[in-house]
């Protein structure tokens, strides 16, 4: 089995980072990189105390998801690379199973396992279609998730999807060398979607593999999810920054990847809908 490099971007993750690393302890042939985005809590000091033998890149400020991950991705030389969130727990055999799947399916550019939320439900962001105007309209206005999160698929079987989440994003160095790293125009959110778009455009498949799984305690760093309000480590200022980034990146992704495919009036309606949703959601700071 080829060595697997794992990149974990940390920002005030509290004890979640240490617990994540503990869940990886039994993994063999792992090359683990922790990038810290200027945390002010004890998360990185606890990790360094308990896991001194892994790579640490310590930043002085919050560079965001793309820039932070790219600091490690530029240094890695192994073929298989996993981007993993610090607020995750990896089950035994998940890494071996997923790496073997990638080795046996060379036409796959990226893959995810089943990403379960702490309530036992599938994290919808890990199983997505691209947010075309039709997919977004059906989802936000008619509550139809069939295109936006591909909810009509059989979740018990392996299948191809448009995009997976940065919470568990397994890819190859050779793929990143071809399509590029995370786009640093994104501070956080949609950078994984953008990378998936480029991977599919290059002719690779993106796969959802439900035979193995992780648990994702989603929203710990951002504090924008209703279920994570009691466990989040985010301050009001960092929540506001994450909230604004959530909507800003919708516009960035659409402009970069979809705008040229649609007429002016459709694009105008898309940007208007994003601004309206942004305005209406601002009171709760939840997404």
Domains of the chain: 4-281 (3.90.550.10)
Q: Taking residues 220-224, what's their average pLDDT? A: 54
pLDDT tens-digit series, residues 172-195: 999 999 999 999 999 888 999 999
Share of the chain above pLDDT 90, in %: 74
pLDDT given at position 279: 79
Cα 13 from chain centroid (whole Å): 15
Q: What is the mean pLDDT of residues 226-253?
A: 73
Burial of 24 (0-12, 13-18, 19+ CB in 10 A): buried
CB 228 within 8 A of CB 236: no
* 284 Cβ contact list (under 8 Å, min separation 6): none
Alpha-carbon span 218 to 13, nearest angstrom: 11
What local confidence, expressed as pLDDT, does residue 228 receive? 52
Given this model, what pLDDT does residue 175 score? 98
Judge whether residue 75 has pLDDT over 70: yes
- 3-state secondary structure (DSSP) of residue 193: helix
Q: Phi and psi at residue 101, in whole multiples of 5°? A: -60, -45
Q: How much is the average pLDDT of 67-82? A: 96
Average pLDDT, the chain: 90
Bridge pairing between strands 168-172 and 108-117 = antiparallel
Pick 49 or 235 by higher pLDDT: 49
Q: What confidence category does residue 246 fall into, taking pLDDT thresholds of 50, 70 and 90?
A: confident
Using CA atoms, how far apart are residues 81 and 171, in angstroms rounded to an integer? Answer: 5
Residue 230 clears pLDDT 60, i.e. is over it: no
pLDDT of 281 over the 80 cut: no
Mean pLDDT of 22-32: 85
What average pLDDT does the segment 8-22 reach? 94
């Amino acid at each position: 089995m080829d060595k697997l490099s794992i990149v974990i971007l940390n920002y005030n993750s509290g004890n979640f980072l240490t617990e994540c690393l503990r869940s990886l302890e039994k993994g063999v042939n792992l090359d683990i990189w922790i990038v810290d985005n200027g945390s002010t809590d004890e998360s990185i000091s606890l990790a360094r105390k308990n896991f001194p033998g892994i790579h640490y890149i310590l930043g002085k400020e919050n560079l965001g998801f793309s820039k932070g991950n790219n600091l490690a991705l530029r240094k890695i030389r192994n073929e298989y690379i996993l981007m993993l969130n610090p607020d995750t727990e990896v089950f035994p055999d998940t890494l071996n199973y997923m790496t073997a799947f990638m080795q046996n399916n060379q036409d796959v550019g990226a893959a995810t396992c089943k990403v379960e939320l702490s309530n036992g439900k599938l994290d919808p962001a890990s199983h997505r279609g691209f947010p075309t105007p039709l997919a977004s309209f059906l989802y936000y206005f008619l509550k139809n998730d069939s295109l936006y999160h591909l909810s009509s698929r059989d979740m018990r079987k392996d299948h191809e999807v448009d995009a997976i989440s940065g919470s568990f994003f397994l890819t190859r160095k050779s793929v990143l060398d071809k399509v590029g790293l995370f786009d640093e125009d994104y501070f956080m959110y949609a950078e994984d979607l953008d990378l998936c778009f480029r991977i599919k455009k290059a002719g690779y498949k993106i796969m959802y593999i439900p035979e193995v799984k992780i648990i994702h305690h989603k929203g710990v760093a951002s504090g924008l999810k209703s279920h994570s309000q009691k466990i989040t480590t985010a301050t009001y200022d960092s929540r506001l920054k994450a909230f604004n980034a959530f909507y800003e990146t919708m516009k960035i992704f659409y402009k970069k990847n979809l705008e040229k495919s649609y007429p002016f009036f459709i694009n105008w309606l898309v940007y208007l809908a994003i601004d309206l949703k942004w305005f209406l959601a601002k009171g709760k700071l939840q997404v």
